[in-house]
């Protein structure tokens, strides 16, 4: 038992047998802690369990937790490659007690595992305790039998563990192994403690307090335990190698890198290969958890890590993108323990390749500039801030890349100068906004955007997260607080709420915090990357700086997902059936329905609509996974992805694919491939059912299709069914016979109507008018007159009646008056047999009315 994968299993098994629940690793982007950049320890996912805010069905747990320490309080980025033990990504093995066992049992469990299960020699081990923690010291003596000189008291923060500036914390006790005199370094607390000889591999934290604010610390409801063992460090100990980079897992990654480079891991290359291996690992895991390279926040840390690795690849002679080629080796090594790597392999590969391809050109030019600028500098000198800023701004060199590049020559960077240059540029950007003529009500978002930075969107992975309120806006102005009943716009550092875009409506839900809650009725995007939650304070008072819980209305979002994915399927089906001239002209993805406008210059026949619906449902029942990938717009379009007319795309685009084509050129290839930033179902089966409910024309050459999915589609069908059954019941026949019966009834009715008209005509000219008024031929003032008021005769039959009257009268005037109802009583015709010119028929009709 010494491979990394075996050690992980052995650890979890040991604690499972000791009554611990084996809990899966949480994502690297902490959803339950807005103050943390990345999950940096196993306890992060349990933070609220320690403080008593959250209850779990177990009081003991064990995990192998993915962790990144490359930004924020715990940052090891600068050390990677230069020490035997630092990594930006590592796995932390831990056991946790939530008010169950405490110090004594924690020490006993740890000691038994390392000495009995892992077989470490007692005389090589030593521990540290917080300087005032006599209790822990006495347990180490009692349980492990360690002598006083092997229980070292440390007064610094090294032995008081805190996750961040706030959160659960407590004194801790670290376990070290002495790796032998041949390695440089001294025991903890000594001047040489930074060396690699004494290796810390397990930290037992006695969680007792919660740091509420910087100044205030309170007791936790129940003392708890949080331990963290570096898996890679334990592997290096058990495999008898000096560095984590020589363990089996890293050897395989480094081999993959050196074979991709066509260069063996010679002494000159070692540090760079290690950096590449470590940085590839953190990059892949970050992308798998939804972080994409960008110029801000987590995305920028990822970009820094990647670009740093690329420089090292360049140093080793790489002329082509390299990191993406290591993905298969990583998936092989770690995919079983972390299936998200397998699921995300394509997305990871494309993201790395894209970032590498794009940065390569500027990397080479930037390195040229850097070597010119430092040509005359010697060890101990400083590079001016202007040049470092130019490298940053024009060549995309993160500051730490420049620092790393100069490290070997012992040249530093003038940081004050760098910051000054950066500030100057920001000032200029501010001035140009002022002149950009934005609507006054919208300008409020620019300063907010500048202070808060872009909002981190977590909504592809989660519908619930914590965040920090960065700004509140009321009536177009930023305010510090808002009270019950206030309409307010809320900006939070990270959010699972989707901001309206690409036709998909913004999310609704609840943002709540200590004593307040806000009902969110919409989410909009403003000022380049700001997500603005619009809502009303339902109770309490909300203040900027508050920690909040953001919860998307799950049922509504589920319907939005289904409708958005269905839009893609209908789009593709229409193109397949009607031709590729069909292009989306706009869409609305609402929770209750979807509306989809397409260019097509003739009506779509009912048969065609039926076929489109059938094709879409064919993919629904495939229940195939919906995959998302990231690539450049050009690559995406080259792959056949549909780009939407009028949409603005960034350099990188998400490409959403769903379904497997069944026929023709699409057979066995992804069915629908579209550029899309929206949220989708996980598998097509989640759409449930697609039902097209209408097709109409909205403008010349533009048709509008409306459709329903899932429950709404089922309800629609159900209503149709009920109506059919009601019709069948009224006809006293079975529903299946309704169409034939209705047709027969319509024929019969037509026949009857015809007969009726004939009968009425006869009656009307007979002795009694249908109205019952006797009709006679009269002679008035010497002119023959036949006047009739008839009812039940349609207007178009009045003229033939008048003609028949004329015939019977011979000479004179005929007026036939249709008196069907009061409101159309004026309808009549007058005929003159031989009186043309003497009498105006219209006057007669008017008079009769």
Nearest CA-CA partner of 470 in 530, 510, 524: 530
3 state DSSP class of 523: strand
Q: Which of 7, 43, 310, 574 binds ligand SER (CB under 6 A)?
A: 43
- Please list, in sequence order, all residues whose beta carbon lies within 8 angstroms of the beta carbon of residue 723, skipping any fewer than 6 positions away: none
| CB closer to ligand SER, 81 vs 168 | 168
Q: Please, which residue, 206 or 671, has the CB nearer to ligand SER?
A: 206
Task: Map 181-233 to HEC letters.
Answer: CCCCCCCCCCCCCCCCCEEEEEEEEEEEEEECCCCCEEEEEEEEEEEEEEHHH
CA 400 to chain centre: 30
Residue 346 tokens, joined: 């394509």
> Residue 205 or residue 573: which is nearer to ligand SER going by CB?
205
Interface with ligand SER (CB under 6 A), residue from 94, 293, 506, 831: 94
Query: Smallest gap, in angstroms, from Cβ of residue 74 to ligand SER?
Result: 8
User: Binding to ligand SER by residue 228, rule CB under 6 A?
Assistant: yes
Interface residues for ligand SER in 162-221 (CB under 6 A)? 203, 205
Spatial neighbors of 432 by CB under 8 A, at least 6 apart, are none
Locate the DSSP E strands across 676-820: 690-699, 702-709, 777-780, 783-790, 813-818
For ligand SER, give the closer residue by CB, 205 or 305: 205
CB of 46 to ligand SER, least distance (A): 10
Kindly identify the residues of this chain, within the stretch 640-679, that bind ligand SER according to CB under 6 A. Answer: none
Stretch that binds ligand SER, among 223-231, 463-471, 497-505, 648-656 (CB under 6 A): 223-231
34 is a site residue for ligand SER (CB under 6 A): no
Task: Say if CB 144 and CB 173 are below 8 A apart.
Answer: no
Binding piece for ligand SER, criterion CB under 6 A, among 40-48, 244-252, 389-397, 449-457: 40-48
Supply the minimum distance, in Å, between the C-beta of residue 466 and ligand SER: 19
CB of 687 to ligand SER, least distance (A): 42
Tell me the C-alpha distance between 526 and 443, whole Å: 10
591 close to 631: Cβ distance less than 8 angstroms: no
- Residue whose CB is less far from ligand SER, 202 or 817: 202
Q: Which is nearer to ligand SER, 161 or 457 (CB)?
A: 161
Candidates 34, 42, 710, 841: give the one binding ligand SER (CB under 6 A). 42
Task: With contacts defined by CB under 6 A, name the span among 41-49, 369-377, 476-484, 621-629 that binds ligand SER.
Answer: 41-49
Query: Is residue 359 close enough to count as binding ligand SER by CB under 6 A?
Result: no
Structure token pair of residue 646? 């009028």
Question: How many chain residues interact with ligand SER (CB under 6 A)?
Answer: 10
Q: Which of residues 135-164 bind ligand SER (CB under 6 A)?
A: 161
Which range touches ligand SER (CB under 6 A), out of 144-152, 225-233, 458-466, 821-829? Answer: 225-233
Closest CB to ligand SER among 92 and 291? 92
At residue 27, φ and ψ (nearest 5 deg) are -65, 165
Minimum gap (Å) between residue 302 Cβ and ligand SER = 21
> Can you list the alpha helix ranges (DSSP code H) found in 603-732?
606-622, 633-638, 710-731
Min dist CB 169 to ligand SER, Å, is 9
- In terms of DSSP bridges, do strands 125-130 and 151-154 run parallel, antiparallel, or are they unpaired? parallel
Residue whose CB is nearest to ligand SER in the complex, by number = 228
14 HSE (CA, 13 A, CB side): 21
Among 63, 88, 97, 227, the residue binding ligand SER under the rule CB under 6 A is 227
Task: Tell which one of 41, 249, 275, 833 touches ligand SER (CB under 6 A).
Answer: 41
Q: Phi and psi (nearest 5°) for 517?
A: -150, 150
Q: In whole angstroms, give the CA distance from residue 185 to residue 492.
A: 45
Whole-angstrom Cα distance, residue 678 to residue 728? Answer: 44
Residue 226 touches ligand SER, criterion: CB under 6 A: yes
CB of 67 to ligand SER, least distance (A): 8
Q: Report the nearest approach of ligand SER to the CB of residue 688 (Å).
A: 43
Dihedral of the alpha carbons of 609, 610, 611, 615, in degrees to the nearest 10: 100
CB 198 within 8 A of CB 186: yes
User: Which of residues 128 and 227 has its CB atom nearest to ligand SER in the complex?
Assistant: 227
- Cβ 598 vs Cβ 512: under 8 Å: no
Nearer to ligand SER, 39 or 567 (CB): 39
Residues constituting the chain: 849
- For ligand SER, which is the closer residue by CB, 85 or 654? 85
DSSP codes of every residue in 714-746: HHHHHHHHHHHHHHHHHHTS-GGGHHHHHHHHH
Residues that bind ligand SER (CB under 6 A): 41-43, 94, 161, 203, 205, 226-228
């Amino acid at each position: 038992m010494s491979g990394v994968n075996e050690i992980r299993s052995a650890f979890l098994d040991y604690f499972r047998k000791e009554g611990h629940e084996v809990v899966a690793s949480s994502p690297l982007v902490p959803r339950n802690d807005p103050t943390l950049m990345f999950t940096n320890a196993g306890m992060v996912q349990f933070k609220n369990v320690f403080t008593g805010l959250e209850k779990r069905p177990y009081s003991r747990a064990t995990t192998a937790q993915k962790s990144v320490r490359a930004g924020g309080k715990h940052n090891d980025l600068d050390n990677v490659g230069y020490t035997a033990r630092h990594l930006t990504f590592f796995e932390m093995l831990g056991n946790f007690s939530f008010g169950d066992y405490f110090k004594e049992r924690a020490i006993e469990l740890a000691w038994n595992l390392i000495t009995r299960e892992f077989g470490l020699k007692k005389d090589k081990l030593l521990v540290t305790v917080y300087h005032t923690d006599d209790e822990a010291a006495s347990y180490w003596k009692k349980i492990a039998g360690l002598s006083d000189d092997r229980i070292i008291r440390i007064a610094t923060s090294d032995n008081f563990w805190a996750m961040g500036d706030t959160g659960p914390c407590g004194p801790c006790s670290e376990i070290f192994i002495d790796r032998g005199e041949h390695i440089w370094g001294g025991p903890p607390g000594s001047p040489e403690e930074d060396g690699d000889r004494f290796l810390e591999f397990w930290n037992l934290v006695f969680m007792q307090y919660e740091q509420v604010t910087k100044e205030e610390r309170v007791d936790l409801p129940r003392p708890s335990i949080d331990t963290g063992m570096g898996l890679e460090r334990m592997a290096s100990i058990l495999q008898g190698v000096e560095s984590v980079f020589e363990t089996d897992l890293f050897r395989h990654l480094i081999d993959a890198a050196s074979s991709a480079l066509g260069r063996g891991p010679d002494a000159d290359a070692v540090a760079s290969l290690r950096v590449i291996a470590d940085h590839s690992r953190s990059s892949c895991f970050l992308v798998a958890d939804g972080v994409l390279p960008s110029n801000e926040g987590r995305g920028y840390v990822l970009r820094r890590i990647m670009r740093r690795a690329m420089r090292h690849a360049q140093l080793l002679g790489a002329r082509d993108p390299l990191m993406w080629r290591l993905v298969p080796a990583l998936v092989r090594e770690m995919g079983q323990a972390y299936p998200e790597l397998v699921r995300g392999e394509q997305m990871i590969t494309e993201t790395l390749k894209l970032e590498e391809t794009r940065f390569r050109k500027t990397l080479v030019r930037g390195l040229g500039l850097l070597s010119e600028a430092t040509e005359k500098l010697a060890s101990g000198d400083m590079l001016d801030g202007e040049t470092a800023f130019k490298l940053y701004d024009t060549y995309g060199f993160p500051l730490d890349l420049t620092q790393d590049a100069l490290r070997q020559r012992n040249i530093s960077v003038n940081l004050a100068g760098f910051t000054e240059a950066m500030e100057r540029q920001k000032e200029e950007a501010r001035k140009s906004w002022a002149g950009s003529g934005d609507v006054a009500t919208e300008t409020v978002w620019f300063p907010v955007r500048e202070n808060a930075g872009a909002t981190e969107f977590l909504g592809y992975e989660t519908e619930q997260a914590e965040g920090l309120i960065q700004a509140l806006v009321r009536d177009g102005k930023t305010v510090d607080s808002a009270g019950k009943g206030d309409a307010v716009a809320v900006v939070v550092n990270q959010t699972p709420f989707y901001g309206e875009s690409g036709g998909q409506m913004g999310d609704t839900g609840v943002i709540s915090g200590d004593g307040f809650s806000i009902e969110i009725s919409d989410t909009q995007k403003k000022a380049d990357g700001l997500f603005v939650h619009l809502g009303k304070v339902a109770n309490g008072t909300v203040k900027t700086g508050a920690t909040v819980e953001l919860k998307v209305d799950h049922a509504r979002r589920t319907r939005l997902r289904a409708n958005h994915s269905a839009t893609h399927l209908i789009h593709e089906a229409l193109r397949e059936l009607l031709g590729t001239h069909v292009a989306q002209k706009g869409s609305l993805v609402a929770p209750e329905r979807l509306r989809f406008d397409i260019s097509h210059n003739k009506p779509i026949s009912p048969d065609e609509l039926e076929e489109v619906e059938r094709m879409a449902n064919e993919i629904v029942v495939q229940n195939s996974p919906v995959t998302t990938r990231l690539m450049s717009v050009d690559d995406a379009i080259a792959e056949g992805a549909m780009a939407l007319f009028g949409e603005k795309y960034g350099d990188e685009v998400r490409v959403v694919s769903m379904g497997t084509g069944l026929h023709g050129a699409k057979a066995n290839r992804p069915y629908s491939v579209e550029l899309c930033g929206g949220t989708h179902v996980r598998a097509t089966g989640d759409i449930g059912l697609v039902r097209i409910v209408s097709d109409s024309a909205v403008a010349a050459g533009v048709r509008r299709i409306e459709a329903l999915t899932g429950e709404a589609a089922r309800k629609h069908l159900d209503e149709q069914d009920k109506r059919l059954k009601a019709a069948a019941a009224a006809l006293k026949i079975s529903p299946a016979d309704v169409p034939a019966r209705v047709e027969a009834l319509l024929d019969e009715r037509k026949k009857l109507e015809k007969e009726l008209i004939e009968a009425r005509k006869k009656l009307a000219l007979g002795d009694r008018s249908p109205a019952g008024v006797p009709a006679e031929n009269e002679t008035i003032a010497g002119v023959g007159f036949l006047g009739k008021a008839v009812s039940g005769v349609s207007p178009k039959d009045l003229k033939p009646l008048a003609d028949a009257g004329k015939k019977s009268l011979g000479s004179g005037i005929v007026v036939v008056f249709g008196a069907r109802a009061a409101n159309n009583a004026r309808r009549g015709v007058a005929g003159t047999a031989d009186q043309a010119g003497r009498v105006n028929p219209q006057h007669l009709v008017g008079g009769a009315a």
